[in-house]
Chain A
Amino acid sequence: MASLEERIDALTEAQLRHGLEVFRSKLRAAEAAYLNACVHCGLCADSCHYYRTEPALENVPARKLDHVAAAFKRHFTTAGRLVPRLVGARPFDRAMVRAWLDSVFGRCTLCGRCSLNCTIGIGLPRVFRAARAALAAMGLVPDDLQATVDNSLVHGNNMAITKEDWVDTVQWLEEELQMETGDPGARIPLDKQGARVLFTVNPREPKFFPLSLQASAKVFWAAGEDWTLASDPGWDLTNYGLFNCNDEQAGRITQNLVDAMERLGCTTLVIGECGHGFGSARWEGPEWLQRRYPFELCSVLELMDEYLTSGRIAVDPSRNPKPVTLHDPCNLVRHGGVSEPQRRVLRRSVAHFVEMTPSREQSFCCGGGGGQLAMAAYKDRRIRAGGMKAQQIRATGAEIVVAPCHNCIDQLMELNKEYTLGIQVKTVAEMVAEALVTAGPSPSEGKTTT
Chain B
Amino acid sequence: MAMINLDGRQVELNPEGFLVDPGVWNDDLALALARQEEGLPALDEQHWAVIRFIRQYYLENQAAPMVRLICKTTGLPLKRIYELFPSGPAKGACKLAGLPKPDGCV
**Residues in A lying within 8 Å of B, measured CB to CB:** 144, 147-148, 151, 158-161, 165, 168-169, 172, 202-204, 206-211, 238, 373-374, 376-380, 406-407, 410, 413-414, 417
Contact = CB atoms under 8 A, between A and B. Distances in A.
Given A407-B105, A410-B105, A376 B15 contact: yes
A357 to B, nearest CB: 27
A397 B89 CA distance: 28
Nearest to A409: B105
A169 B68 contact: yes
B103 A159 contact: yes
Interface of B: 14-16, 18, 63-64, 66-69, 72, 78, 86-91, 101-106
A161 B66 contact: yes
Interface centre among B69, B72, B103 (most CB of A within 10 A): B103
B63 A206 contact: no
Contact of B103 (A160, A168, A169, A413): A160
Main secondary structure of the interface of A (DSSP, over half): helix
Nearest to A166: B66
Contact of B104 (A165, A207, A376, A377): A207
B89 A208 contact: yes
B14 A374 contact: no
A208 B103 contact: no
Contacts of A159: 102-104
Contacts of B66: 161, 165, 168-169, 206-207
A204 B94 CA distance: 14
A299 B38 CA distance: 35
B63 to A, nearest CB: 7
Given A159-B102, A373-B106, A209 B67 contact: yes
B67 to A, nearest CB: 5
A202 B86 CA distance: 21
B106 to A, nearest CB: 6
Contact of A207 (B15, B72, B87, B102): B102
A271 B104 CA distance: 17
Given A210-B78, A374-B104, A379-B15, A414 B91 contact: yes
Given A208-B67, A413-B91, 20 more contacts: A148-B104, A151-B103, A159-B102, A165-B68, A204-B106, A207-B64, A207-B66, A207-B102, A207-B104, A207-B106, A210-B68, A211-B78, A238-B104, A238-B105, A376-B15, A376-B16, A380-B15, A406-B105, A407-B105, A413-B88
Nearest to B67: A208
A373 B86 CA distance: 18
A208 B15 CA distance: 22
B87 A417 contact: yes
A160 B61 CA distance: 12
A406 B90 CA distance: 14
Nearest to A150: B103
Q: Which of B72, B89, B91, B102 has the most CB of A within 10 A?
A: B102
A417 B86 contact: yes
B73 to A, nearest CB: 13
Given A169-B66, A406-B105, A407-B105, A413 B87 contact: yes
Contacts of A148: 103-104
Nearest to A206: B66
Contacts of B14: 376
Given A208-B89, A209-B67, A147 B103 contact: yes
B15 A168 contact: no
